[in-house]
Amino acid sequence: MIENVKVYAFVGPSGTGKSFRAQKVASDYKISYIIDDGLLVNKSDIVYGSSAKKADTKIETVRKALFIEEPQRTNMVKELKKVKPDSILILGTSDNMVKEIAKNLELPEITKTIYITDVATEDEIEDAKRIRTTEGKHVIPVPTFEIKKDFSGFLLDPLQIFQTSSDNRPYIEEKSIIRPTFSYIGKFTISDSVFKEIIEYLATKTSSISKILRVRVNKSDIGPSIYVEVEVKFGINILTEMKAFKERCIKEIERQTSMNVVEMKIVAKKIKVD
């Protein structure tokens, strides 16, 4: 049993806006850590875990959110013992679910439960349900850059919200909107030719590059690694120009495909003399 931690619960049906309001609830009750869909979150940082929203099915999502599987459960317990939180907020769709999470993570009994109806109006809850049903959007209570690598290939949108803390201090809180694999939009696949076409198009807009000679793409769960060979024009500063071209390629590929570029190498293989 993990001792000296006060456990709170935030309960509401799926799609009613719990993750959207989790940080505000934690701030109001001065709670330092949040457990949400397999993630351990401290303020705006993911401390440990992998989001259950990456699962391929809803059943697998629930199992991950409950910490039923090994080694996920054991590893999270170890992390909790390591960080020693003084308070923690567990998100769940029912009283039984949050109790089960607390039990599986060897946490003390829940001392207080906050319900979604305590912090959101009926209209706000209905709006959240509508967005979940019609657009398949889910919220993760951390900035997009925190989960970009883990959700490479998913549609990601940042969401910035102006908030006021319990002591009336204004601040901007960023959350991330994702569309999980099991939603009707789903995870999409990008052909290697798409990366090549984006790079070739950018090359036509870059005066220092004569042409693209070769593009090789290696894909992984966290995103593609891309190798490019180019023919450059004589008289340029190769290091400066290749660095600038690389940055433009990464920015455009990530913008157009939602893929996180793990690594990109640009090699000047030939020089063209006019």
Say whether pLDDT at 47 is over 60. yes
Say whether pLDDT at 82 is over 90. yes
Across the chain, what does the average pLDDT equal? 84
Say whether pLDDT at 210 is over 80. yes
**What number of other Cβ atoms are within 10 A of residue 32's Cβ?**
15
3-state DSSP call for residue 76? helix
Q: Output the pLDDT for position 189.
A: 60
Which range among 132-146, 211-225, 253-267 shows the weakest confidence by mean pLDDT? Answer: 132-146
Backbone angles phi, psi at 139, to 5 degrees: -110, 140
pTM listed for this prediction: 0.63
**pLDDT tens profile 222-241:** 788 999 999 999 999 999 99
Evaluate whether 114 touches 8 at the Cβ level (below 8 Å): yes
**What number of other Cβ atoms are within 10 A of residue 227's Cβ?**
14
What gap in Å lies between CA 74 and CA 62, rounded to an integer?
Answer: 17
Say whether pLDDT at 74 is over 70. yes
38-71 as b/e: b if 16+ CB within 10 A: bbbbbeeebbbbbbbbbbeeeeebbbbbbbeeee
Say whether pLDDT at 103 is over 90. yes
Q: What amino acid occupies position 232?
A: V
Q: Output the pLDDT for position 258.
A: 67
Between residues 36 and 260, the one the model is more confident about: 36
The β-bridge relationship of strands 138-140 and 45-49 is unpaired
Percent of the residues in the chain that have a pLDDT greater than 70, as a whole number: 80
Q: Which of 36-40, 164-168, 175-179, 256-260 tops mean pLDDT?
A: 36-40
Say whether pLDDT at 256 is over 80. no
What gap in Å lies between CA 146 and CA 150, rounded to an integer?
Answer: 8
**pLDDT tens profile 126-180:** 988 887 777 667 776 666 555 556 665 555 555 544 555 555 555 445 565 665 5
The β-bridge relationship of strands 87-92 and 33-36 is parallel
- Enumerate domains of the chain plus CATH numbers: 6-178 (no CATH), 192-272 (3.30.70.1350)
The β-bridge relationship of strands 87-92 and 156-164 is unpaired
